[in-house]
Amino acid sequence: MDEQRKTPRRRVLKAATIEFGGGAIDCNVRNISKAGAALDVASPLSIPDHFTLHIPSDQIKRPSRVIWRKERRIGISFD
């Protein structure tokens, strides 16, 4: 299968937080690149289209938007 992404992603497993409107949802980053990431979540339904992804271990806070949603995973791009 050919890679369709503009930038290659590397596989990781890092704890992160989806932050929005004074609330937060825990998640795990499964892969990441300069342009975006895939996140494992308990349920994608309560996650807004735009939020800040916080990865404490890397001291990263990135404004993000949801590109796709699946059962327990979402794909995001960094704004």
Mean pLDDT by 10 residues, the chain (79 residues): 65 97 96 96 93 97 97 96
What does the pLDDT read at residue 2?
43
Give the alpha-carbon dihedral of 74, 59, 35, 37, to 10 degrees. Answer: -20
pLDDT value, residue 45 = 86
Predicted local confidence at residue 5, as pLDDT: 57
Q: What is the 3-state secondary structure (H, E, C) of the chain?
A: CCCCCCCCCEEEEEEEEEEECCEEEEEEEEEECCCEEEEECCCHHHCCCEEEEEEHHHCEEEEEEEEEECCCEEEEEEC
pLDDT of residue 11: 95
Instruction: Give the pLDDT of residue 8.
Output: 84
Domain boundaries, the chain: 10-70
Q: Give Cα separations from 2 to 9, 13, 75 (angstroms).
A: 13, 23, 18
Tell me the whole-structure pTM to 2 decimals: 0.89
